[in-house]
A and B are shown apart, each in its own frame.
Chain A
Amino acid sequence: MKTLTCTVCPVGCQISITNDLSISGNQCKRGEIYARQEMTDPRRMITTTLKTISASCPRLSVKTNNPVPKDKIFECLHMLHSMIITKNVKIGDIIVKDILNTGVDIIATKEINI
């Protein structure tokens, strides 16, 4: 049994969900989908910054193009923090393809001219 706050809309229902996925406390269908996803395969978008060799832009901001499994967040960050950007980057460029076999790419959200 787990209690979670629904983030689908501003109402913020307190939803209870049991291990066999019976759900209560939600006021709409979207809350049920949210709770089921959170219980079976919770995922989050990651945004962070990477080190660059540029003096004017010492950090490159990046994001995941899709949410990654919640339990992979710190592993992904660990890998990203070891990288150094040495080339010009445009918004939307793929910085890491299929990070840790999650099927998710890391994408630049900023332009950098080294």
Chain B
Amino acid sequence: MKKDIVIIGGGAAGLAAALGAYDPSLDMLIIERGAMLGGILGQCIHHGFGLEVYKEELTGPEFANKLIQECHEKKIPYVLDTTVIDIEKKASFIILLSSIKDGLYHIEAKKVILTTGCYERTRGAIDIPGDRPKGIMPAGSAQRYLNMEGYLVGKNIFILGSGDIGLIMARRMTLEGAKVHGVADIMPYSNGLTRNIVQCLDDYQIPLYLSHTVTKIEGRERLERITINEVDQNYQPIIGTEKTFEVDTLLLSIGLIPDVKLFNHLKFDKHPITKSAIVNQHYESSIKGLYVCGNALHVHDLVDWVVIESKHCGSQAKMNLIHNQNDTLHKIDVIPKDHIRYVIPQLISFDEYSETIELKFRSTKKITEGTLEIIQHDRVIYSKKMKHVVPAEMKHVHLPFHMIQKDAPILVSMKEVCS
């Protein structure tokens, strides 16, 4: 079987990439390992999605349904219950698939878009000392058990990590009859949206312990008790600040990692911070014709941003196919400097059709008032005043392509304005 564009992953990013790449003359296929399209949106039953893309507030399942309907209307082909075993790059991509219905088979693709999403960090990632009982799991897994299968995983809950999934699950478990004793975060600030802190914690008087972490886990069969400590500036527990909680469940909301390590034959250049592919402004990786977008590229705050990015990625893959852009293009680096944690894209390619470049970034700390500067040849080529920049919220600017010169990297830096 030969295809022009194959999209791996049928969640929000995959569906949006397919819509962006859609052209009646192109042969496309979405490969989804689950039994349904829509990905993680199916278990995100809370509302707050869609304001950017659909201009209305939707729940996760409703948002997924809109994307799925759009794909159905365009008759974009997809396969379910099918997982990718390996991808090899030769003249084109050779993809090895395994499906419940059709067994093991190969397809060939000119372009591949990876929209495989991300996975949750587990207890092993942060080395919490203590026993190894039942009752400790990532918050997203608990969300799936509760919202899809109908199982409440515990009655007395503590949550480590105050990212949005942790906050949303604190409310969700409370509404379903569990008691959430508290949420702790090792950082001095929460990584969740303000709205979620108010509506998920404050509304139900759930305490938030900032600069705290779990230091002890006790329980033989099932979790019985946890201990938290305040941490110092080096994130080391301060002795004497112990608090204990009698809980049967510890949910972990301690970060998400792009899920792109599946393929032995496909080694692209990776970025140490995003832990995913280094891409250019078209979301193309160091392997020509392989694109990465959505949470598989970097973890987004909002599914709306995933959809916007992935539509763009899909349309670029299509453009590239139509323009038959096969030469290796000249590239320059995009380098994060002061107070910037990472920037997407990490590279800018000099092609004939780019007009503006969207730069997305996160700051390393809270900046009340600042100026974003883009610097080339020690000269500021673009600047923008920004207010209330926090690490939890991704920011973006559009840089006109003609402002960039071919012969030096560009630096992205945030200057704090002292008030």
A residues within 8 Å of B by Cβ? 4-7, 10-12, 44-49, 51, 56, 58-59, 61, 63, 70, 73-74, 77, 91, 109-111
Contact = CB atoms under 8 A, between A and B. Distances in A.
Interface residues on B, range: 20 to 34
17 contacts: A10-B193, A10-B393, A11-B388, A46-B175, A48-B45, A51-B150, A58-B150, A61-B61, A63-B45, A63-B59, A70-B203, A91-B65, A109-B45, A109-B62, A110-B42, A110-B65, A111-B65
B148 A59 contact: yes
B165 to A, nearest CB: 15
Contact of B175 (A48, A51, A61): A48
Contact of B62 (A45, A51, A77, A91): A91
A5 B202 CA distance: 9
B59 A10 contact: no
A32 B132 CA distance: 49
B379 interface: no
A75 to B, nearest CB: 12
Given A73-B175, A109-B62, A7 B150 contact: no
Contacts of A6: 194
Give chain B's interface secondary structure class: helix
Given A10-B388, A63-B59, A49 B150 contact: yes
A58 B149 contact: yes
A50 B147 CA distance: 9
A59 B150 contact: yes
A44 B199 contact: yes
A58 to B, nearest CB: 5
B47 A47 contact: yes
Contacts of B148: 58-59
Contacts of B199: 7, 44
A57 to B, nearest CB: 8
Contacts of B150: 49, 51, 58-59
The 4 closest A-B pairs by CB, nearest first: A12-B194, A61-B45, A7-B195, A109-B59
